[in-house]
Amino acid sequence: NLRNLCNWTGIVCSTTGSISEINLSNANLTGTLVQFSFTSFPNLIRFDLSYNNLSESIPSTIGNLSKLTFLDLSNNSFVNNIPWEIGQLMELRYLSFLNNSLNGTIPYQLSNLQKVWYLDLGSNYLETPDWSKFSGMPLLTYLSFCRNELTMEFPDFIPNCWNLTYLDLSINRLTGKIPESVFTNLGKLEYFNLSDNSFQGPLSLNFLKLSKLKDLCLVSNNFTGSIPEDIGFISDLQLIRLFNNSFEGKIPSSIGKLRNLQRLSLPMNKLTGEIPPEIGLLTKLNYLYLWGNKLSGPIPTWIGNLKDLVGLTLFKNYLSGPIPPTIWNLSNLTTLLLSSNNLSGTIPPEIGNLKDLVGLDLSENQLSGPIPPTIGNLSNLTILQMDGNKIFGEIPAELGYLKQLFVLSLDSNELTGKIPSTICNVSSLEILNLSNNNLGGLIPQCLVSFNNELSVLDLRMNHFHGTVPATFREGNKLRNLGLNGNQLEGSVPQTLVNCKQLQVLDLGNNKLSGRFPNWVESLPELRILVLRSNRFSGTISASNTKLPFPSLRIIDLSNNEFIGLLPTKYFKNFKAMINVDEHKNLGY
């Protein structure tokens, strides 16, 4: 008795007692629609089964719901083709099959739905149909085919959908140029996303006819030529994302007219020249991403005008000169990435003003002077990279205040003194790289025992003396231990056997002695073992391990005082050396 259903949750009935709506979104439903009696609901106008776990095919009998205006089957596990009978639902206004596993071609009958304003087929496995069979859909304002398997050129029915405000074709394999008719016909577009395709060619001068655009995303295509000089006349633009193309020339100065712009993302292009001063007028800008270009000149002082800036990434350019002091006034910054430029000068104490900073990368520049102790104020910092500079002085003990830090990279500088024991307070640390400096003293025992998260400890090419720390605990996550090029003495501590995830053990060029540590052969992940240029002696004998060195690819025992033969058992089990991927860079 269908009348009893009117009292069920999610069921709405009309005044005459017929079911008009089924609203069971996110109702934890499983099963299929194969046995669903669509003919029993002739007056249904709304059918919403989104966010469930329904599977198998969408039945063709769904085409009998002739009064349906709203159909949402998104976020389920439906498979196979979209039934062409959907095209019979002439009253439909809203249609979403987003995020299923539908495949086959998109049925051209969908374009018969001339009253539809919202159409979302994104995140499926749908393939390219014959677009010439599609009609324009004049009431359509929202169209998404993102994350499918569409190929060939831009769908030619889309420019005939004149009322579109939202268009998303991202993450497909579409090619060719954007048709001129897109620019001349779709003047109401506010959101335009073609990212992760293979579109090409320069942007048309007619691009400026998309005068209502708020969000432009052309990321990861093959666009060439210059960014249109008059882009600044699309006055409503809030987001420009042109990352990973081949745009060249200068950044248009007209961008300074876009007073509502919040994100300017132009990385991985071929842009040249200086950063235009007009960008300093964009006071609403939250993100300025210009990395991976060929920009030159100084980082402009006006950057300090951008008080709302949260992310600033200028790395991998040809920028030079000092870091302007105005940067240290950008108190909302969470990301500051300036690596791989030619920046010079010192790091001032004012760096401690950036208390919201999460990621700081100043590596691969020409920076000099000491690390200011005020860096300890950056309590939210998770990544700190200053490697590849000319920084000198001691490592400040205040680094121990950075309790969220998981990457600390200060290698390839001119640092002196000891490793401050306060670093052992940073229990979240996963990567510690202090290699290629002039550090000395003893290696703090706590470095390998203060947390079980440390995966990389690289202290190579310094002046450490004493012994290798012997406090490796069970359950640690150490993958890379690099102590090469120091003055360490004594034997290899047997507690290294607790490092079950160890892949690289590099103890070369020290003064280590004793017999070959054959217990390392039981380490299941060990790929690289370097003991060269030490004072090891005696014969090399295998232990009772059944399959020694199961993953070893590189072993270097040269320049020691070993005698005798290598165990044949080792050679029989060096299978990883034979099967090594020749394209894999092991770094040795």
pLDDT in tens, 41-78: 999 999 999 999 999 999 999 999 999 999 999 999 99
291 lies in which domain range? Answer: 225-344
Please tell me the predicted confidence (pLDDT) of residue 290.
99
CA dihedral defined by 81, 99, 156, 170, rounded to 10 degrees? Answer: -140
Kind of pairing between the strands at 11-13 and 19-23: antiparallel
Q: Which amino acid is at 565?
A: L
Residue 397 lies in a domain: no
Provide, rounded to the nearest whole percent, the portion of the chain with pLDDT above 70: 98
Determine whether 490 is exposed, middle or buried from the number of CB atoms within 10 Å of its CB (0-12, 13-18, 19+).
middle
Looking at the domain assignment, is residue 540 inside a domain? Answer: no
199 within a domain of the structure (yes/no): no
Q: Is residue 408 part of a domain?
A: no
Give the start-end residues of each E strand in 151-232. 151-153, 166-168, 173-176, 191-193, 198-202, 215-217, 222-224
Alpha carbon distance 101, 325 (integer Å): 53
Q: How far is CA 276 from CA 31, 235, 255, 296, 300, in A?
A: 58, 18, 9, 11, 9
User: What pLDDT is attached to residue 583?
Assistant: 44
CATH of the domain at 229: 3.80.10.10
Which tokens belong to 154?
């831009």
Residue 21 lies in a domain: no
pLDDT of 150 reads 98
**What are the tens digits of pLDDT across the range 343-369?**
999 999 999 999 999 999 999 999 999
Number of Cβ within a 10 Å radius of residue 331: 12
Residue 276 within any structural domain of the chain: yes
Beta bridge partners of 501: none
Confidence of residue 370 (pLDDT cuts 50, 70, 90): very high
Residue 509 Ramachandran class (φ > 0 left, ψ -120 to 50 alpha, else beta): left
If one counts the domains in the chain, the total is 1
**Entry pTM:** 0.91
Q: Where are the beta strands (DSSP E) in 263-334?
A: 263-265, 270-273, 287-289, 294-298, 311-313, 318-322
**For 356-383, what is the mean pLDDT?**
98
Residue 66: per-residue pLDDT: 96
Any idea which residue has 């980082």 for tokens? 299
Calculate ∠ Cα 452-454-457, nearest 5°: 140
Mean pLDDT confidence for 418-440: 96
Q: Is the pLDDT of residue 330 over 90?
A: yes
The Cα 510–Cα 490 span in angstroms is 10
pLDDT reported for residue 15: 86
What are the φ/ψ torsions at residue 553 (nearest 5 degrees)?
A: -120, -30
Work out the average pLDDT over 557-583. 80
How far is the C-alpha of 128 from the C-alpha of 111, rounded, in Å? 14
Residue 77 β-bridge partners: 55
